[in-house]
Amino acid sequence: MSLDIRAFIFDLDGVITDTAEYHFLAWKRLADEEGIPFTRQDNEALRGVSRRESLNRMLKGRPIDEATAQNYMQRKNDYYVASLSEITPAAVLPGAINLLDEAHAAGILIGMGSASKNARPVLDKLGIAYKFDAIGDGYSVVNTKPAPDLFIWTAGRLGVSPTQAVVFEDAEAGVAAALTGGFWAVGIGTADVGKAHLVLPDLANAHAKEIVAALGS
Catalytically active residues are 11, 13
Site residue total, Mg ion (CB under 5 A): 6
Query: Which one of residues 8, 10, 45, 51 is an interface residue with ligand G6P (CB under 6 A)?
Result: 51
State the virtual CA torsion across 141, 26, 168, 134 in degrees, nearest 10: 40
Query: Which one of residues 5, 14, 118, 125 is an interface residue with Mg ion (CB under 5 A)?
Result: 14
Taking alpha carbons only, the member of 22, 30, 39 closest to residue 64 is 30
Q: What is the DSSP letter of 13?
A: B
Query: Which one of residues 16, 30, 48, 160 is an interface residue with ligand G6P (CB under 6 A)?
Result: 48
Binding partner of 157, given ligand G6P, Mg ion, none, CB within 5-8 angstroms per partner class: none
User: Rounded to a whole number, what is the largest CA-CA distance in the chain?
Assistant: 54
Under rule CB under 6 A, residue 17 binds ligand G6P = no
Do 136 and 159 form a contact (C-beta atoms < 8 A)?
no
Binding partner of 149, given Mg ion, ligand G6P, none, CB within 5-8 angstroms per partner class: none
Under rule CB under 5 A, residue 11 binds Mg ion = yes
How far lies 86's CA from each of 14, 15, 18, 80, in Å? 16, 18, 12, 11
Under rule CB under 6 A, residue 140 binds ligand G6P = no
Under rule CB under 6 A, residue 187 binds ligand G6P = no
| Residue closer to ligand G6P (CB basis): 168 or 208 | 168
DSSP assignments along 10-65, one per residue:
E--BTTTBSHHHHHHHHHHHHHHHHT----HHHHGGGTTS-HHHHHHHHHTT----
Binding partner of 140, given Mg ion, ligand G6P, none, CB within 5-8 angstroms per partner class: none
Q: Which residues of the chain form contacts with ligand G6P (CB under 6 A)?
A: 13, 20, 23, 46-48, 50-51, 54, 77, 114-118, 138
